[in-house]
């Protein structure tokens, strides 16, 4: 008998492999009925998104890339810095807990599916938040692995779901779950507004964050004073604010309120950046007109909310992945060189043109799609 059944209480395990994936999975867990016991296994990183939501299980793995495959050579660097040593503990854990849960839910890309496949798991519920369907569909090996391992798959697009349905997989496209899982926290961004327009900075959650933030700040400093917007910064849980301050020459002031997501300000007396925890990102996006983003999941969420995004192409980026994303995002995401003048020019253009911002906002909403997947996913899981 399955141990979960013997206990008389339904037990679910969520497996995720990245910061954005953790956040999505944690939001789904938070919506689960209280009669179900849920644990989470974040395959990469500390799993901070699950704090206060559910217990963590499994070995903690740290990779130089933090699982971010948009950078060229990230896999090679992970291997060179001992990344392969994280694989046996992960597989050993997954093999050991086989049969202990009523449901195993994988959130992310194919890594979690393949890890579960080779360790004997079957009848997975798989939420694919990686493939967009705009550039590439599932390959033949991916379809084989999914059919062998998964009971139900939720995809981001109809054509992805159809490609799996054709080989006998129960695949569904019920909306974009990223739009159901935008985080909100205790932070009133609107009360900090004093200028006609506002920009949110999303420099990312990984090793290049401080470098990306410095470029964003340099570009903002190039704007003339009358055009400069209010500026907000969403700080991912793993990022050290003091490192951001040091990289830009800004000074940190303490928290100005009792709001739990308030992280104070960075300022040099001319430019002021209001900071909030990443868990309040939705608060920042909703009060902003534009977004400067080097993030992954958060970029999709910003575009889906109708916020045009400006990003820069780092020489270390994997252009194939970047180009695949751009096919989906279209004009809603403006891509420029990783140079402050280029970023500033793109900012200036959109800050000065209300009509163009509205046009790009509509493109973003149409390309990303709206919410709705959350209810369908929860219904499938608890059935």
Judge contact between 232 and 276, C-beta under 8 A: yes
| The predicted structure's pLDDT at residue 21 | 92
User: 38: left (phi > 0), else alpha (psi -120 to 50), else beta?
Assistant: beta
Q: Can you tell me the mean pLDDT for 76-93?
A: 67
Q: Which residues pair with 223 in a beta bridge?
A: none
pLDDT of residue 4: 45
Mean pLDDT of the region 106-116: 94
pLDDT tens digits, one per residue of 26-60: 999 999 998 999 999 999 888 988 999 999 999 98
Cβ atoms of 170 and 153 within 8 Å: the answer is yes
- Give the fold, CATH level 3, of 3-181+370-382: Rossmann fold (3.40.50)
Mean pLDDT in residue range 338-361: 98
To the nearest 5 percent, what fractions of the chain are helix, strand and coil? 45, 20, 35
Enumerate residues 6+ apart whose C-beta is below 8 A from 310.
290, 291, 292, 293, 333, 334, 336, 343, 346, 347, 350
Measured at the alpha carbon of residue 237, what is the angle toward residues 233 and 240, in degrees to the nearest 5?
75
Average of pLDDT values for 328-351? 97
pLDDT at 353 over 50: yes
Q: Which pLDDT band holds residue 255 (cuts at 50, 70, 90)? A: confident
Most confident of 103-117, 195-209, 251-265: 103-117
The Cα 245–Cα 322 span in angstroms is 28
pLDDT of residue 62: 66
**Model pLDDT, residue 2:** 46
Query: Does this chain's domain 3-181+370-382 share its CATH topology with 190-368?
Result: yes
- Residue 78 has a pLDDT of 46
Please determine, for residue 191, whether its predicted confidence score (pLDDT) is greater than 70.
yes
CB atoms within 10 A of CB 358: 12
**Extents of the domains making up the chain:** 3-181+370-382, 190-368
Residue 181 in contact with residue 28, Cβ under 8 Å? Answer: yes
Q: What is the pLDDT of residue 372?
A: 84
Instruction: Confirm or reject CATH 3.40.50.2000 for domain 190-368, answering yes or no.
Output: yes
Query: Scanning the structure block, which residue is given the tokens 């969403």?
Result: 234
**pLDDT higher than threshold 60 for residue 239:** yes
Name the pLDDT band for 235 (thresholds 50, 70, 90).
very high
CA distance 293 to 200: 8
Q: Output the pTM of the full model.
A: 0.82
pLDDT tens figures, 136-173: 899 999 999 999 999 999 999 999 999 999 999 999 99
């Amino acid at each position: 008998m399955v141990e979960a059944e013997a206990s008389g209480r339904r037990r679910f395990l969520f497996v995720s492999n990245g910061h954005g994936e953790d956040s999505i999975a944690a939001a789904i867990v938070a919506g689960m009925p209280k009669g179900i016991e849920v644990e989470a296994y974040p395959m990469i990183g500390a799993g901070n998104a699950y704090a206060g939501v559910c217990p963590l299980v499994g070995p903690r793995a740290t990779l130089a890339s933090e699982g971010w495959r948009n950078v060229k050579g990230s896999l090679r660097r992970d291997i060179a810095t001992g990344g392969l040593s994280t694989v046996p503990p992960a597989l050993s854990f997954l093999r050991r807990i086989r049969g202990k849960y009523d449901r195993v839910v994988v959130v992310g890309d194919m890594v979690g599916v393949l890890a579960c496949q080779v360790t004997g798991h079957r009848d997975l519920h798989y939420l694919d938040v990686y493939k967009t369907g705009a550039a590439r569909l599932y390959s033949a090996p991916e379809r084989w692995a999914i059919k062998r391992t998964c009971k139900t798959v939720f995809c981001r697009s109809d054509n992805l779901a159809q490609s799996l349905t054709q080989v006998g997989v129960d695949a569904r496209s019920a909306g974009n779950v990223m739009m159901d899982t935008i985080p909100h926290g205790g932070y009133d961004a609107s009360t900090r507004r004093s200028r006609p327009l506002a920009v949110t900075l999303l420099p990312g959650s990984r090793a290049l964050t401080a470098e990306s933030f410095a470029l964003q700040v340099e570009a903002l400093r190039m704007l003339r004073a009358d055009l400069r917007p209010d500026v907000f910064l969403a700080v991912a849980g793993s990022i050290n604010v003091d490192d951001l301050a040091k990289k830009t020459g800004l000074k940190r002031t303490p928290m100005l309120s009792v709001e739990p997501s308030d992280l104070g300000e960075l300022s040099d007396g001319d430019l002021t950046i209001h900071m909030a925890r990443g868990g309040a990102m939705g608060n920042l996006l909703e009060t902003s007109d534009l977004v400067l983003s080097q993030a992954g999941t958060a970029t999709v969420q910003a575009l889906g909310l109708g916020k045009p995004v400006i990003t820069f192409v780092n020489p270390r980026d994997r252009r194939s992945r970047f180009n695949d994303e751009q096919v989906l995002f279209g004009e809603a995401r403006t891509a420029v060189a990783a140079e402050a003048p280029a970023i500033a020019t793109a900012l200036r253009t959109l800050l000065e043109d209300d009509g163009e911002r509205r046009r790009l906002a509509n493109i973003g909403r149409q390309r990303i799609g709206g919410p709705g997947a959350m209810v369908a996913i929860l219904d499938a899981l608890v059935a």
